[in-house]
Chains A and B, each alone.
Chain A
Amino acid sequence: MATPLKVERYTRASRIALPVVAAVIIAAATIPAWGSSSVIKQGVTFLTLVALGQMWNLLAGYGGLVSVGQQAFVGIGAYTLWVFSEKVGINPFFCVPIAGIVAALFAFPTAGLAFRLRGGYFAVGTWVIAEVYRLLVTLISWLGGGSGVSINSARGFSPTTRQAFVFWWALAVAVGSIALVYLILRSRRGVALTAIRDDEVGARSLGVNLTRSKLWVFVIAAFGTGATGAVIYLNLLRVGPEAGFSLQWSALMIFAVVIGGLGTIEGPILGAIIFFGLQQLLADYGTWYLIVLGAIAALVVVFAKKGLWGAIYRRWPADLLPVRRRLCLETVCFPEEAPPAQPPQYPIVQADNLSGEQPPAPSPGPGA
């Protein structure tokens, strides 16, 4: 065809959303200047949850890899932080990217084992592997064994400085994880991942190498999760094998993603906001907090399979982050809306002038 082709990415919603998002990020970055210590600390909790959710969503939502062993990489990130700041002597704040890289390196042997399994077996397999990492740490006395270790080098900074840097790192991993997923989806790889999300068999028949895409996603998710793990423990300052490799981490990620909406960028952010909000609201109610969380998760899974973002998107289909591709000829784009379905021109079923006796009333059962 001679007509020049063009592919548009931006949508009206995204043109509005992107500057708003930028403003929110800048505003958030000023929080350490005016926020109280507890606000900053909670901000870190929230932001790291956003990052963990994005990474799990990349893994499960796009790669089809439902892992419940991501705590392995949180723990590896935390211990990498300790090793490099305490044993090697690097400034703890520079250890965050190192933690990501080390976690990504551990992703290769982990994938080598876990990728032999499919579906539910994969999920359980990743969990088992995470448990093995936990047990190994417990057995290595150099890593503090079962009693854990303290990140003392971070205590060398004044509390205000330390909190501010931890917060900025948390903001960086949150924004970075969203940006990472966004850029991946806009890239060529994103085409394959979205296809894998929707139908693996179809994707393969069109030339997509599943194993390669999945390994790629697994390593990237490990990188993001490991870096986030380091930020979390820069905040907590003490890590032990039980806490660092706790299944709780995966539960958190899964909750945020499933509530918000699997396989979208916006969903896990929304999920993190809801989870965080509930945590604040119900903090004083002890066990009830967990019951409410469980009930909400169950309701969303039953009534809104695509999560809350999915339900919102169904009503107002607006992509805040422009990951779509629209094909245009010169300046004219093909419409995005399907024309309304034409009602059939003839009756599909018709019955005229029926006559006949009423069916007999059901006779009462023998027990009546």
Chain B
Amino acid sequence: MTVILQGEHLTKSYGGVRVVDDLSVSLDEGEALGVVGPNGAGKTTMLNLLTGTVTPDEGRVTFSGADISRRPPEQRCHAGIGRTFQIPRPFEGMTVFENVLVGATYGRNQPEKASYELCARALHRADLLPRANVLAESLGLLERKRLELARTLATEPKVLLLDEIAGGLTEHEVHSLVDTIKQLRAEGISIIWIEHIVRALLAVVDRLMAIDFGRLIAEGDPTEVINSPQVRDVYMGSMAP
């Protein structure tokens, strides 16, 4: 297995708070890695460090062996790192199709006309094709999350970083999203998926890491990690012996 994306000893502080504290993460090609942890554990910051939205105080990020720690987000996108945002950030004044067009033309760095096919394919995979010409501001939560996915798929990522993409959806919606993500995995896209909905995660990921206070507390087989005493402590509170 070759490592495609790696963060080594990442540290990030805001003021006096170490949000991410000497955290290392590595993703193999074709692998699906799940990330769990309580609110404020540093999951999203870890993702932001990998995508370049936030620059680390210490540590480095490599993609296919190349150091990309100082590269801006747009260059990491060009390299093949796609992401979705926990709180969807659609371009509200643009239609769904135009939203996806941004990813296809600028993410792939190609002429607009050459991108239409790619857009339609991304919309189709995210189940949004019939909504192509609707203004993004009129979308509901599920469709906004699907738009996040469609836009980043249009950049043809090698690695997909999903930030709580199932959060806030109904049981049924989560199911259909899990199906979509499974399919992307089958197509060979490597995935890091942050999620609170453990059942959805377990249906997809090969490996799970749990973090708390910006540090790794457990990593390995998904079921074992979820049942490990460290993770139980974090979520349930430690029981006095």
Binding between chains A and B: yes
| Interface residue ranges, A against B (CB under 8 Å) | 1, 5, 7, 187-188, 191-192, 194-195, 197-199, 201-210, 263, 324-327, 333-338, 341
Which of A187, A208, A336 is within 8 Å of B133, CB to CB?
A336
* Shortest beta-carbon distance from A48 to chain B in Å: 28
Q: Which residues of B contact A192 (CB under 8 A)?
A: 102, 105-106
Minimum Cβ distance to chain A for residue B67 (Å): 20
Whole-angstrom distance between the Cβ of A10 and the nearest chain B Cβ: 14
Report whether A325 and B98 are in contact in the complex, using a CB–CB cutoff of 8 Å: yes
The proximity string for B residues 58-98 relative to A, scoring 1 for CB distances below 8 Å and 0 otherwise, is 00000000000000111001100001010001111111011
In the complex, are the beta carbons of A326 and B77 less than 8 A apart? no
Residue of B nearest to A326 (CB): B133
**How many Å lie between the Cα of A197 and that of B91 in the bound state?**
8
Pairwise interchain contact B72-A204, C-beta atoms closer than 8 A: yes
**How far, in whole Å, are A341 and B141 apart by their CA atoms in the complex?**
13
Minimum C-beta distance from A354 to chain B (A): 28
Q: For B89, what are the chain A residues with a Cβ–Cβ distance below 8 Å?
A: 199, 201-202
Q: Are A327 and B97 in contact (CB under 8 A)?
A: yes
Q: State the Cβ distance, A277 to closest chain B Cβ, in Å.
A: 27
Q: How many A-B residue pairs have CB under 8 A?
A: 131
Are B97 and A1 in touch, CB under 8 angstroms? no
In the complex, B222 has a CB within 8 A of chain A: no
User: A202-B85, A207-B107 given. 16 additional CB < 8 A pairs?
Assistant: A1-B124, A5-B117, A188-B111, A188-B112, A191-B102, A192-B102, A199-B91, A202-B151, A204-B77, A206-B103, A206-B152, A206-B154, A207-B108, A326-B132, A327-B123, A334-B97
Query: How distant is the Cα of A57 from the Cα of B103 in the complex, in angstroms?
Result: 24
Contact B120 A1 (CB under 8 A): yes
Q: Of A207, A336, A337, which one neighbours B78 at CB under 8 angstroms?
A: A207
Interface hub of A5, A187, A202, A337 (most chain B Cβ within 10 A): A202
CA distance A106 to B47 in the complex (A): 40
Assembled-state Cα–Cα distance A327/B152 (Å): 18
Asked if A210 contacts B133 (CB within 8 A), the reply is no
CA distance A198 to B121 in the complex (A): 24
User: Can you list 15 contacts pairing A with B, beta carbon distance less than 8 Å?
Assistant: A7-B116, A187-B112, A188-B105, A191-B98, A194-B98, A195-B94, A198-B93, A199-B91, A204-B77, A207-B74, A208-B106, A210-B74, A326-B97, A326-B133, A334-B130
CB of B129 within 8 Å of the partner chain: yes
How far, in angstroms, from A175 to B210 measured CA to CA in the complex?
60
User: Number of residues in B with C-beta < 8 Å to the partner?
Assistant: 50
In the complex, whether B13 has a CB less than 8 A from a CB of chain A is no
Contacts of B169 in A (CB 8 A): none
Q: How far is the CB of A212 from chain B (nearest CB, A)?
A: 9
Closest-CB distance, A196 to chain B (whole angstroms) = 9
A204-B89 Cα distance, complex, nearest whole Å: 12
Residues of chain B within 8 A (CB-CB) of A208 are 74, 102, 106
> B121–A1 contact, CB under 8 A?
yes
Asked if B93 and A205 sit within 8 Å, CB to CB, the answer is no
Q: Measured between alpha carbons, how far is A56 from B107 in the docked complex, in Å?
A: 28
A263 to B120, CA, bound (A): 27
Closest to A209 in B: B74
Nearest-neighbour CB distance to chain B for A346, whole angstroms, equals 13
Minimum distance in angstroms from B111 CB to a CB of chain A: 7
- Give Cα A198 to B48, complex, Å: 20
CB-contact partner of A5 in B91, B116, B154, under 8 A: B116
List residues of chain B with CB within 8 A of the CB of A337.
134
Determine the chain A residues whose CB is within 8 A of the CB of B53 once the complex forms: 201, 204-205
Q: Which of A194, A206, A324 is within 8 Å of B77, CB to CB?
A: A206
Closest Cβ of chain B to A198, distance in Å, is 4
Query: Chain B residue with minimal CB distance to A317?
Result: B135
Q: Which of B78, B91, B121 contacts A202 (CB 8 A)?
A: B91
Q: Which of A5, A201, A207, A336 contacts B134 (CB 8 A)?
A: A336
CA distance A5 to B97 in the complex (A): 12
Contact A202 B117 (CB under 8 A): no
CB-CB under 8 A from B72, the residues of chain A are 204, 209
Q: Please report the C-alpha to C-alpha distance between residue A194 and residue B106 in the assembled complex, in whole angstroms.
A: 13
Q: How far is the CA of A5 from the CA of B114 in the complex (A)?
A: 11
